[in-house]
Amino acid sequence: MIAPFTPAGHFRPGALFLAPMVALSHRALRELILEFGGLDLAYTEMASAGAVVSGSPYEDCYLDPGPEPGKVVYQLYATKGERMSEALAFLKNRPASGLPAAGAPPAGGPTVSGGGVFGADINFGCAAPHITKAGGGAAWMREPERAFELVRTARAVWDKPLSAKIRLGQAEDYGRLADFVKGLAEAGVDYVVVHPRFESQKFRRQGRWDIVARLAAEMGLPIVGNGDIRTWSDYRRRVEETRSAGIMIGREAARRPWIFALLRGKEAATDFSMEVDLRATAYRMLELIESRLIPEFRLTRARRFFSYFADNFGYAHYIKWKLVNAPDLDAMRRELEAYFEEMPGDRRRRYDE
């Protein structure tokens, strides 16, 4: 039996969500964000439903729900509809403890539906060619009936909140998009996350928040908006314009893991600002990556994190290049140390926007 969906405070204009991002939205980043003050809901990076079903060793790491499982949403993509429901049926029986750090064997313990997570999300938005060519991600939006069938079968097995993350489709056609969202709702999703770009659009042009606002006003189910939120003024403007059920932030969360705390602080008092110890934050992230992620993931995850985080530094391009080319995490530490020796003024920075 499907539990009735209760938004329970997670959905309100301005609720803060972490976006699913491959190699970025992992447990170490969530812990770092939590140390700055946390957020409302955090999506995992996408995991392949097929790989979950076949027991691939890595999917457990993509879907590690720690440190606060109750605020985590698993994101899954599928190229075949039946894999989605099989994966959700499998995840439903995950132990409450989820995955222990650093690849130790699962701890067992009582089964709590889905490892204690808040919910699951179906990826209908990923536009990476290797995913869409195989029929996954945004390719589902080209065949709405098949997408609805996938949602119905997923809904039949998953008794927690279920969302779909979508783009705008292949070309501008509001009627088609609205029908797609309605069809998803009828098939059983509880809310929809909209990254308002067309399938072939990269990040160069701004996302279409006007379309998010219209969907939020007209669809009758919670719509979460996502895309290009970098500052307090971006955030405030989008909350006011859309009154959507939440705001999801992706890249800025890697660039400034304190962004959620900064936004919350400014909501309470607009003259709020934060002084951040960039050196300590960089070291802490390396420590979290080493202690929370399996060895095979550490270097790629650290490189991807620093490719955003380095934007905080005065000589961003220089240090970014050094960090993303460092052969291991200790070499990254040495690069950071050398940089801060040269540039002691970059150790701490105040952020008010």
19 binds ligand FMN (CB under 6 A): yes
Q: Which of 98, 169, 227, 265 binds ligand FMN (CB under 6 A)?
A: 227
Binding test (CB under 6 A) with ligand FMN, winner from 69, 116, 125, 265: 125
Stretch that binds ligand FMN, among 89-97, 122-130, 140-148, 233-241 (CB under 6 A): 122-130
Closer Cβ to ligand FMN, 298 or 339, answer by number:
298
Task: Write out the two tokens for 333.
Answer: 């530490």
Report the residue from 5, 7, 12, 22 that binds ligand FMN according to the rule CB under 6 A: 22
Site for ligand FMN contains 46 (CB under 6 A): yes
Residue partners of 100: CB distance under 8 A and separation at least 6: 106, 107
Contact in structure between 169 and 176 (CB atoms under 8 Å) = yes
Residue (20 or 119) nearer to ligand FMN, CB = 20
CA–CA distance, 269 with 329 (Å, rounded to integer): 38
Q: Decide: 222 and 11 in contact? Cβ < 8 Å.
A: yes
Look at strands 274-277 and 348-351 and give their pairing: antiparallel
User: Which residue from 53, 122, 139, 229 is in contact with ligand FMN, where contact means CB under 6 A?
Assistant: 229
The amino acid at 310: A
Residues contacting residue 152 through CB under 8 Å, at least 6 positions apart: 187, 188
By CB under 6 A, is residue 278 in contact with ligand FMN?
Answer: no
Of the two residues 46 and 99, which places its CB atom closer to ligand FMN in the complex? 46
Tell me how far apart the alpha carbons of residues 353 and 343 are, in angstroms, rounded to a whole number: 23
Q: Which is nearer to ligand FMN, 62 or 339 (CB)?
A: 62
Asked whether position 249 contacts ligand FMN by CB under 6 A, the answer is: yes
Nearer to ligand FMN, 51 or 112 (CB): 51
Contact assessment for residue 44 and residue 66, using Cβ atoms and an 8 Å cutoff: no
Nearer to ligand FMN, 126 or 216 (CB): 126
For ligand FMN, the closer of residues 122 and 319 by Cβ is 122
Distance CA(292)–CA(115), nearest Å, equals 17
For ligand FMN, the closer of residues 133 and 348 by Cβ is 133
Q: How far is CA 86 from CA 145, 156, 183, 249, 290, in A?
A: 19, 11, 22, 29, 32
Chain Cα centroid distance, residue 337: 30
Contact 341, 288 (CB under 8 A): no
CB 212 within 8 A of CB 196: yes
126 sits near ligand FMN (criterion: CB under 6 A): yes
Q: Of residues 40, 45, 86, 190, which one binds ligand FMN by CB under 6 A?
A: 45
Whole-number minimum distance, CB 45 to ligand FMN, in Å? 5
Question: Which range in 3-11, 82-90, 143-151, 244-252 contacts ligand FMN by CB under 6 A?
Answer: 244-252
CB-based burial, 178-193: b 16+ in 10 Å, e otherwise: eebbbebbebbbbbbb
Number of residues binding to ligand FMN, judged by CB under 6 A: 21
42 near ligand FMN, judged by CB under 6 A: no
Q: Which residues bind ligand FMN (CB under 6 A)?
A: 19-22, 24, 45-46, 75, 123, 125-126, 165, 195, 226-229, 249-252
